[in-house]
Structure 1
Amino acid sequence: MTIPEKTETKTCDALLLEYELGGKLAVDPVKLVFGGVDGQDVYNIAAPYEDEGELVIAGRVESRDSERSRIVFFVERDGVWMPREGAPTFALQDPFHTRIGGELVIGGVEVYLHPQREGALAWRTVFYKGARIADLEPFFTGPDGMKDLRLVELADGGIGVFTRPQGEKGGRGKIGYARASSLSGLTLRLIEDAPLLDGQFEDGEWGGANELHPLAGGLVGVLGHIACFDERGDRHYYPMAFAFDPATGRHSDIEVIATRRRFLPGAAKRADLVDVVFSGGLVRRPDGTALLYAGISDAEAHRLTITDPFLKYER
């Protein structure tokens, strides 16, 4: 399918209004229950995937009063997601996964002390790969200061690389794209030089890719987030989606696909994080719906049934 010509850059408020007026499906909200973590929060989960014959969810685990996180792999036992016995854990935030060349690729955000600014923190995206979770080994570390770095195997066998620079190039955070011939072709220069997608975010607002879906016809479905501050300094994060054509670099308009109030009530890490939904992953289903897995208010993990946002790009 050819991606429609992009129209205009829209603010969070405009996209939110479109969503609320559009009457989009948002049903069967579920709060996922986690155990075995000594009362810590589990949030910003990835979508479940199969590993050695059972479904696994990777989640960010941390105390309510801390940002010191680890990624834990969970399996469901009698309705409760419990840490998988013998599985590794990683000192990372915000897990994600994909498959490339038949291998499982897992990633997350590493937080470390800033090398030039005393007492400040910095971050970067770290990738692991292996035939299964038990075999994961690190293979690539992204540029310092870059979260939301994502990879996807393209229809022609290449690797699509979605970036998210901040600062002079990306402001608070914008999405870029580059192509690598293979995982071994990933370099810091390739990522840092990736051109930004045109006109996705207004000044002062930001966003990033969270999960990438190869679509029929060679397009890539991008599940991500768009975010802004309000006048009080509170954060607002909305799950969003768009389609990208690796052959032409064209992309569709962003659309908001869920909001906080469509999920169940729950806790928040801080008062300024109440309206935060961080897209974790999407499980597409044959009936035209999809299960959206998300971190809620930096404290919980929920699931919501929505209309598959990518189906229209495969018709």
Structure 2
Amino acid sequence: MVQLTNSGTKSCTVLLEDFRQRGHKPLHAEKIIFDQVNERDVYNITAPFEDEGETVIAGRVEHRDSEVSEVHFFVNRNGVWVPRENAPVFALQDPFYTKINGELIVGGVETFSHPEKEGMLNWRTVFYRGASLSQLERFFVGPDAMKDLRLVQLADGSIGVFTRPQGVKGGRGKIGYTNVPSLDNLSHEVIDEAPILEGLIHEDEWGGCNEIHLLPNGLLGVLGHIARFGEAGKRHYYPMVFVFNPYNRTLSDVEIIAERANFVVGPAKRDDLVDVVFSGGLVRHPDGTADLYAGTSDAEAQKLRIIDPFAKYV
């Protein structure tokens, strides 16, 4: 198995410079067009996945001047993605999916009134499971104030759990990891006790996992995001990857794999969100390329063809 080494935490600025110096320029960028959403934006999408013989994309749907969000499931009709007939609609943000024991797992971020801070919102990650989209049932709710919980089935059948604590343990948001024998063993205690993975997120910045790939050698290819505040409170989000060995907890260095300037020019939800790319999913191809599906500037969804960032670890 590939031996993983980590040279220590680097800031977004340094990682971005490393990305630009590597010279792996994206091969192609295109917007993904959605329709029949009542003039709302669709962004922070998943990669496409198969459900009952049809290719589906989940996306965050909301008005430009609001963050009241729904997750819809879309199918392609003549090059345009439209809501799938009779598919569920969830009051969530930032959808994701995985497969565990052949079962579809779908989740997202649920917002709700903060119990202590009047007029403020809190959030948590919720999970649904079922044989297909039409059979999804809610089965687990993560701890309050934690986004970016992700699950993956390991080569030995157990379940890897990536967490993102904030506050005393995680600052603005770091990545933790633990594993459980099965979905039935998920609990707030297990998640809260997951150790932080060192060498990933700079102390003044934040990040999280978006999609986990089980590689043929048993390693985990992690697609995520890292972010920082810039001038005048503007946010800068970058798609990143790292590779993790869940058996000895070694990991590779973080690599930024794209930046907003690599995508097609488009609108932003607000002025402070212009330089935002939120990773959704990665579809890897046999020719050594991969398609990165992402939300751009909290207003649109795009697809970017890049060099497969996990190929060198297999």
Scaled by the length of structure 1, the TM-score of the pair is: 0.99
Q: Distance in 1 between matches of 2:84 and 2:117?
A: 38
Q: Distance in 2 between matches of 1:56 and 1:5?
A: 36
Matching residue of 1:23:
23
Q: Distance in 1 between matches of 2:58 and 2:219?
A: 26
Matching residue of 2:212:
212
Matching residue of 1:85:
85
In the TM superposition, what whole-angstrom CA distance separates every residue of 1:223-273 from its partner, at most 9, and x where no partner exists? 000100113210000000000000001110000000101100001000000
In the TM superposition, what whole-angstrom CA distance separates every residue of 1:134-193 from its partner, at most 9, and x where no partner exists? 000000000000000000000000000000001110001000001010000101100000
Matching residue of 1:156:
156
Does structure 1 retain, via aligned residues, the 8 Å contact 2:43–2:298?
Answer: yes
Of 16-25 and 281-290, the range deviating more from structure 2: 16-25
Q: Distance in 2 between matches of 1:197 and 1:48?
A: 29
The unaligned stretches of length 5 or more in structure 2 are none
- Secondary structure of 1:275 counterpart: coil
Does structure 1 retain, via aligned residues, the 8 Å contact 2:7–2:199?
Answer: no
Matching residue of 1:117:
117
Matching residue of 2:282:
282
In the TM superposition, what whole-angstrom CA distance separates every residue of 1:193-250 from its partner, at most 9, and x where no partner exists? 0000012111210100000000011100000001001132100000000000000011
CA-CA distance at 1:54 after TM superposition: 1.1
Q: Distance in 2 between matches of 1:255 and 1:86?
A: 40
Matching residue of 1:106:
106
Q: Percent identity?
A: 61
CA-CA distance at 1:42 after TM superposition: 0.1
- Secondary structure of 1:19 counterpart: helix
Matching of residue 231 in structure 1 with residue 234 in structure 2: no
Matching residue of 2:181:
181
Q: Distance in 1 between matches of 2:250 and 2:4?
A: 9
Amino acid aligned to 1:76? N
Amino acid aligned to 2:133? I
Matching residue of 1:33:
33
Q: Distance in 2 between matches of 1:111 and 1:157?
A: 32
Matching of residue 243 in structure 1 with residue 243 in structure 2: yes
- Secondary structure of 2:203 counterpart: coil
In the TM superposition, what whole-angstrom CA distance separates every residue of 1:27-72 from its partner, at most 9, and x where no partner exists? 2101000001011000000000011111100000000000000000
Q: Distance in 2 between matches of 1:25 and 1:308?
A: 12
In the TM superposition, what whole-angstrom CA distance separates every residue of 1:72-111 from its partner, at most 9, and x where no partner exists? 0000001110000000100000000000011000000000
CA-CA distance at 1:10 after TM superposition: 0.6
Amino acid aligned to 1:24? H
Does structure 2 retain, via aligned residues, the 8 Å contact 1:3–1:243?
Answer: no
Scaled by the length of structure 2, the TM-score of the pair is: 0.99
Does structure 2 retain, via aligned residues, the 8 Å contact 1:25–1:305?
Answer: no
CA-CA distance at 1:307 after TM superposition: 0.7
RMSD: 0.7
Does structure 2 retain, via aligned residues, the 8 Å contact 1:283–1:291?
Answer: yes
- Secondary structure of 1:18 counterpart: helix
Q: Distance in 1 between matches of 2:227 and 2:146?
A: 16
Give the 4+ runs in structure 1 shifted more than 6 A: none
What count of residue pairs does the alignment treat as equivalent?
314
- Secondary structure of 2:190 counterpart: helix
